[in-house]
Chains A and B, each alone.
Chain A
Amino acid sequence: MTLNVDTPAPARRPGPRRTAGHRSPGRGGRGFARFDLRATPYFLVSPYFLLFAIFGVFPLGYTLWVSLYDWELAGDKTFLGLDNYINLITDGAFWNAVVNTLGMFVISTIPQLVLALIIANALNKRIRGRLFFRLGVLLPLVTSVVAVAVVFTQLYGRDYGMINWFLGLFGVDAIEWQNQSWSAWIAISTMIDWRWTGYNAIILLAAMQTIPKDLYEAAALDGASPRRQFWQITVPMLRPTLVFVVFISTIGGLTLFTEPVMFEGNPTMAGGATGQYQTVAMFIVKEAFRDFDMGYASAAAWLLFALILIGTLINYSFTRRIGGKK
């Protein structure tokens, strides 16, 4: 910050700049001034990097190390090399978890982003009680994930759940929501959407407000309908923000954990009797803390990392094209 303040200032305020630029010699020698100027910013940001090194880089490296062993929790450790990775790639349960995760990601994220875009566009208009609605869409985010999951799980309960009661009014038989992939995926996706749609909407809204109003005025003069304005102006101008939102959703979606765990009721991390909604994150925790195989779990964690990288790249190439044909 200090470095930047100095450079653009001179043209407009030559007088004050002089004193501002030379305030350091008064406090110490010239050498110290330069050191101060250069090192202070690094010093000021260092806590983040220190914490990142301790809680970010170290566990990453350690996980990689553990993933090369048959590492039993409070037990024996034998070096395996890449065996864990090879076993994982041929492990049907792992791929089942990957398919579940991707499935839930797709059916939760696409409607969520579309909905967020629509909500943001609506909130961007002149409506009465705008602040109330804007805060309102953020409210779900304030509640704890666990509370959300507990409430939704009860709503989806087979015997005493409200959704089955409601469906029952139309003569639909009680659905065992946990039992099949499709129903479990839907139930879990609604939990995710309920919580995150408003969050994404607010981010998109903030970006929408930076779009110059004269673009819309010009378009309106040319006779463009609001719908056309939305697709031709708003969406292309939102591209960088959409990329960000898609990134965050990809990372969140691929590491989905709390909702399906709570949905299961008893935290065995199995994701249903046949693993119909076991996510990769649950698979990792199950291997590590239910079957006590830390090495295998670490290898799975690294594969998940790779999966997220690939997913993010794919999504990036998609979102980059939004409005590209302009």
Chain B
Amino acid sequence: MLNTKRHGKLAAVAVMAATALAITSCGSNEPAKSAAGGGASAPAAEPVTITVHTFGGGANFGYKKAVETWNAAHPNIQVKYQNLTDRFEDVYLPQLLQKLQAGSGTGDIVGIDEGAMGLMKARPQFFTDLAQYGLDSRKTDFPAAKWDNGINKDGKLFALGTDIGGMGMCYRKDLLEKAGLPGERDEVSKLWPDWASFMEIGKKFQAANPGKGAPKFLDGPNTLYNVVLSQEAPKNGNIAYFDTGNQLVIDKNPAIKTSFDTVKSYSEAGLTAKLASFTPEWNAAIKKGGFAVMGCPAWMLGVISGNAGDEGKGKWDVAGVPGGAGNWGGSYLAVPAQSKHPKEAAEVLNYLTGKEGHVAAFQEAGAFPSSLSGQQDPAVADMKNGFFSDAPTGKIFSDSVKDLLPVFLGEKHAQVKTAAEKVLEGMDKGSIPYGEAWTRFIEAGTKAAG
């Protein structure tokens, strides 16, 4: 009975959504039709609305300003920018797949996280070939790795890069200082050139903050794990959970094991606040100072400043990451085949992934440009972040992506990642004993891949 009820509800929602879509798409088609009937020769005279769908917390993709600028200059191609959710893997991605399958409901341009690019590359039928609109000319703008990842199974260019996840360490200046450690960012960077010294600093911090309710050194297992993995993967054939033949190697890739062991050692030493990333409790701890240090890909700056709000301004800062360069995350923009205005959408996509769009997104959300021209732009290279005590984030992140190598992510990367990180959370919180965690980790990953 409930079975029917559930499906009934789903179907009802689907019908409503479809109706709403029909109404809206009629709305945008109306002027086009009447103009065509009137025999108007200039197609540019018909205003077209291009919707852009993205995801992410805080300032997310950072397109507010960029879209305003575009809209002011292009009365005929108006961009409607919607950030659908702050969660990619478990909210945005399933919704996007459903809309692709249904044949309607996606934006004219959609944001895709790096983690799901393998999945999208394997479904070329749902996306527009961007080379058709001349965007293949942008090849020299991007590092090879970023560019190649936007080419799908059929060899067509379907997505262009937005940001890239250069790495830093975000920390609470006031908390470190309270624990008798230096707070100035260059000195902090010198404190932890490698992971061994990072561990020592963590222990010192904990010793100065004993007792219940006192802040912990790190937030939880996930951010640390991903930072280490992003450094280790390039040392081990540039693969993570899958090899380039799309076979699961979670139990064979030394990069995974090293990252896992690192997280385990920090958890066992009691250096984490036992928080799962992107949960309400994690958000609250960012705001209330529940922990001092967190691994920070460039886009995380927007998440922290968005969560902490104005009162956190000046308390946070960014230092270098122990152990050097790495890339965690970064996104792409693509035009679904169901878009009614692929040509205009491609134009907007070109703008948002171009130098101007990249620079604007970096200024707004700290999303570090993946385009070389964007990275070299003085507005990025000399950028200081007001929220993070005027940290020279432009320099920190461009240094961290200098020698970046591409990491191959398989078709089911997002699922395996989610399942594996669940085990890390369980281990950290104590519902999975440390001794069993590695076996459980492999089991969960294997199940998610199967």
Chain A residues in the interface with B (C-beta under 8 A): 54-60, 63, 73-75, 93, 153-154, 157-160, 174, 176, 178-180, 251-252, 254-255, 265-270, 272-274, 276, 281, 289-292, 301-302, 304-305, 308
Min Cβ gap B1→A in Å is 6
Does B41 lie at the interface of the complex (its beta carbon under 8 Å from any beta carbon of A)? no
Bound Cα distance from A223 to B284, whole angstroms: 62
Interface hits, B313-327 → A, CB 8 Å: none
Q: B430, A176: Cβ atoms under 8 Å?
A: yes
Query: Do A267 and B429 contact each other (CB < 8 Å), given the known contacts A59-B7, A59-B8?
Result: no
Partner of A270, one of B126, B213, B274, B422: B422
With most chain A CB atoms within 10 A of its CB, the pick from B3, B89, B427 is: B3
Chain B residues in the interface with A (C-beta under 8 A): 1-4, 6-8, 10-12, 87, 89-91, 94, 97-98, 100-101, 122-123, 126, 212-213, 274, 276, 278-281, 284-285, 288, 290, 415, 418-419, 422-423, 425-427, 429-432, 440, 447-448
With most chain A CB atoms within 10 A of its CB, the pick from B4, B278, B429 is: B4
Query: Do A290 and B94 contact each other (CB < 8 Å), given the known contacts A159-B290, A179-B429?
Result: yes
Partner of B4, one of A56, A269, A290: A56
29 sample A-B contacts, Cβ–Cβ < 8 Å, listed by A number: A56-B7, A57-B4, A58-B11, A59-B4, A59-B8, A59-B11, A60-B3, A63-B3, A63-B7, A74-B100, A74-B126, A93-B447, A153-B280, A158-B281, A160-B281, A160-B284, A176-B274, A176-B429, A178-B429, A251-B2, A265-B279, A266-B90, A273-B422, A273-B423, A273-B426, A289-B98, A290-B90, A301-B3, A305-B1
Contacts of B10 in A (CB 8 A): 59
The residue on B at minimum CB distance from A178 is B429
Partner of B98, one of A73, A180, A255: A73
Min Cβ gap A83→B in Å is 13
Bound Cα distance from A160 to B283, whole angstroms: 12
Bound Cα distance from A63 to B415, whole angstroms: 23
Q: A269, B426: Cβ atoms under 8 Å?
A: no
Q: B415, A276: Cβ atoms under 8 Å?
A: no
The residue on B at minimum CB distance from A254 is B2
Bound Cα distance from A302 to B1, whole angstroms: 10
The residue on A at minimum CB distance from B419 is A270
Bound Cα distance from A75 to B2, whole angstroms: 27
Q: A268, B123: Cβ atoms under 8 Å?
A: no
Bound Cα distance from A277 to B284, whole angstroms: 23
Q: B8, A73: Cβ atoms under 8 Å?
A: no
Min Cβ gap B189→A in Å is 30
Contacts of B212 in A (CB 8 A): 174
**Which 3 residue pairs of A and B lie closest in terms of their CB atoms, listed nearest first?**
A273-B426, A59-B7, A55-B8
Contacts of A178 in B (CB 8 A): 429
Query: Do A291 and B448 contact each other (CB < 8 Å), given the known contacts A73-B98, A266-B276?
Result: yes
Contacts of A301 in B (CB 8 A): 3, 6
Min Cβ gap A207→B in Å is 22
Q: A268, B418: Cβ atoms under 8 Å?
A: yes
Contacts of A276 in B (CB 8 A): 431
Q: A265, B280: Cβ atoms under 8 Å?
A: yes
Q: B418, A290: Cβ atoms under 8 Å?
A: yes
**Can you add 10 more A-B contacts, CB < 8 Å, to A56-B7, A265-B279?**
A73-B98, A75-B123, A174-B212, A266-B276, A268-B422, A270-B422, A289-B98, A304-B3, A305-B1, A308-B1
Q: A157, B281: Cβ atoms under 8 Å?
A: yes
Contacts of A73 in B (CB 8 A): 94, 97-98, 101
Q: B4, A60: Cβ atoms under 8 Å?
A: yes
Bound Cα distance from A73 to B274, whole angstroms: 34
Contacts of B290 in A (CB 8 A): 159
Q: A74, B284: Cβ atoms under 8 Å?
A: no
The residue on B at minimum CB distance from A273 is B426
Secondary structure class of chain B's binding surface, majority of residues: helix
The residue on B at minimum CB distance from A302 is B3
Partner of B91, one of A54, A157, A179, A267: A267
Contacts of B422 in A (CB 8 A): 268, 270, 273
Bound Cα distance from A274 to B433, whole angstroms: 11
Min Cβ gap B429→A in Å is 5
Bound Cα distance from A212 to B236, whole angstroms: 81
Min Cβ gap A265→B in Å is 4
The residue on A at minimum CB distance from B428 is A273
Min Cβ gap A300→B in Å is 10
Bound Cα distance from A267 to B86, whole angstroms: 12
Contacts of A305 in B (CB 8 A): 1-3
Partner of A269, one of B90, B213, B285: B90
Q: B418, A292: Cβ atoms under 8 Å?
A: no
The residue on B at minimum CB distance from A51 is B8
Min Cβ gap B56→A in Å is 15
Min Cβ gap B113→A in Å is 15
Contacts of A266 in B (CB 8 A): 87, 90, 276, 278-279
Min Cβ gap B441→A in Å is 11
Q: A55, B11: Cβ atoms under 8 Å?
A: yes
The residue on B at minimum CB distance from A62 is B7
The residue on A at minimum CB distance from B414 is A290
Partner of B11, one of A54, A153, A176, A254: A54
Q: A159, B213: Cβ atoms under 8 Å?
A: yes
The residue on B at minimum CB distance from A58 is B11
Q: A290, B415: Cβ atoms under 8 Å?
A: yes
Q: A267, B281: Cβ atoms under 8 Å?
A: no
Bound Cα distance from A268 to B123, whole angstroms: 23
Bound Cα distance from A157 to B283, whole angstroms: 13
Q: A272, B280: Cβ atoms under 8 Å?
A: no
Q: B97, A74: Cβ atoms under 8 Å?
A: yes
Contacts of B7 in A (CB 8 A): 55-56, 59-60, 63
Q: A273, B8: Cβ atoms under 8 Å?
A: no
The residue on B at minimum CB distance from A267 is B90
Q: A268, B90: Cβ atoms under 8 Å?
A: yes
Min Cβ gap B61→A in Å is 20
The residue on B at minimum CB distance from A257 is B6
Partner of B94, one of A251, A252, A289: A289
Q: A56, B8: Cβ atoms under 8 Å?
A: yes
Query: Do A273 and B6 contact each other (CB < 8 Å), given the known contacts A268-B418, A291-B415?
Result: no
The residue on B at minimum CB distance from A312 is B1
Contacts of A281 in B (CB 8 A): 6
Min Cβ gap A322→B in Å is 23
Bound Cα distance from A268 to B418, whole angstroms: 8
Contacts of A251 in B (CB 8 A): 1-2
Bound Cα distance from A292 to B425, whole angstroms: 23
Bound Cα distance from A56 to B431, whole angstroms: 40
Bound Cα distance from A269 to B90, whole angstroms: 9
Bound Cα distance from A270 to B2, whole angstroms: 21
Min Cβ gap B263→A in Å is 14
Min Cβ gap B102→A in Å is 9
Q: A274, B11: Cβ atoms under 8 Å?
A: no
With most chain B CB atoms within 10 A of its CB, the pick from A63, A176, A178, A266 is: A266
Q: B431, A274: Cβ atoms under 8 Å?
A: yes
Bound Cα distance from A274 to B419, whole angstroms: 10
Bound Cα distance from A78 to B250, whole angstroms: 27
Bound Cα distance from A57 to B89, whole angstroms: 32
